[in-house]
Amino acid sequence: IIYGIFLLSIIGIVLAYLNSDKKIKNFYIFSPIMIVLFFILSSLYKDSFWSNYYEGIGYYFILTITLGFYGFSFTRNKIIKNIPWLIFIFLFLFNLLKFTKEIKNNNIPNDGLRKQLATVVRVYEINKGKKDFCVRVYTPPVIPHTYNYLFDYYSKHRVRPTTSYVNNQCWYIIEDDSFKFRIDKFRQEHIPPAGKLIMKESIHKDVSLELWQDYPQK
C-alpha cells in the first residue's frame, strides 16, 4: 500500500508539472530536488545515519506524498482529481476497521514497550541488591532510546546501570534483527575478545538477556 501511494504521488507530481503554469512548474522542479539533496546530506551526518538505516526517511515520504496528492488538483478530470480523497477515505475506513478489531481482541500482545519493560524489570530482579552493574543494549535502530528512558525512570529509586564492566561482568540485552550481521558487528565491538557467555535467558521471542564474563589476560 505504501509503495502504491508513493507511486501515485510521483504521478501526481508529473500531472502538476504538465498541467500548471511556469511558477508551479518551477516549484515542482525545485521541491523534489531539495528533498533528494536533504536526503543525501542527512546520510552524510554521522549521528543520524547508520549502515542500511535512515532515521528520518519517513519525513521524505510524507513530503513527496503531500506534493504528489496536491498535484492531482491541477488536472481537469474530476475522477483523477478526486483520487487522493478516495485513497484517504479507503485508508480511514481500513484503519478504523482494524482498530475496532484490535479493541475487541482481549489478548494484548506482549510486544513493543511491554517486552522492553519486562526486560528491564528482569534485569533489576537478577541484580537485586547490587550497588552497581553493567548493561549494554542492542536494538535494530541502534539507538536504544526506550531502554535508556526505562533505566532513567527506574534509577529514581534504584541504581542506574553503567555501560562499563563491573567485576569483569556485563549484561547484554539483544533484540532480534533481520540483518544478522548487525548483531555480529555489535558483538565484535562491545564484547571483549576474552569474553565468555556464562548465562543466557530468553525474555521474549525477539529479546534475549546474556551475561558475559571478561577474562583479561594478565
Q: What is the pLDDT of residues 84-128, one digit of tens each?
A: 888 888 888 988 888 888 777 666 666 778 889 999 999 999 999
Q: What angle do CA 76, 81, 1 make, to 5 degrees?
A: 150
Domain membership of residue 13 as a residue range: 2-104
C-alpha 52/C-alpha 34 separation (Å) is: 22
What integer pLDDT is reported at residue 51 of this predicted model? 47
> Do the domain assignments include residue 186?
yes
Domain's final residue, options 41, 69, 104: 104
218: in domain: no
The low-confidence residues of the chain, meaning pLDDT below 50, are 48-52
All residues at 6 or more sequence positions from 162 whose CB lies less than 8 Å from its CB, including other chains:
132, 133, 134, 135
Residue identified by cell 534475549 is 208
Which residues of the chain form beta strands (DSSP E)? 49-50, 53-54, 135-138, 169-175, 196-204, 207-213
Q: In this structure, are residues 140 and 177 in contact, taking their beta carbons and an 8 Å threshold?
A: yes
Amino acid letter, residue 128: K
Query: Domain check: are 97 and 131 in the same one?
Result: no
User: Domain boundary residue among 45, 71, 104?
Assistant: 104
Q: At what angle do helices 113-126 and 145-154 cross, to 10 degrees?
A: 50
Number of domain units in the chain:
2
Domain annotation covers residue 70: yes
Of all residues in the chain, what percent are helix, strand and coil, respectively (each to 5)?
55, 15, 30
Is position 62 within any domain? yes
Question: In 72-192, which residue ranges form alpha helices assigned H by DSSP?
Answer: 78-81, 83-104, 113-126, 145-154, 180-190
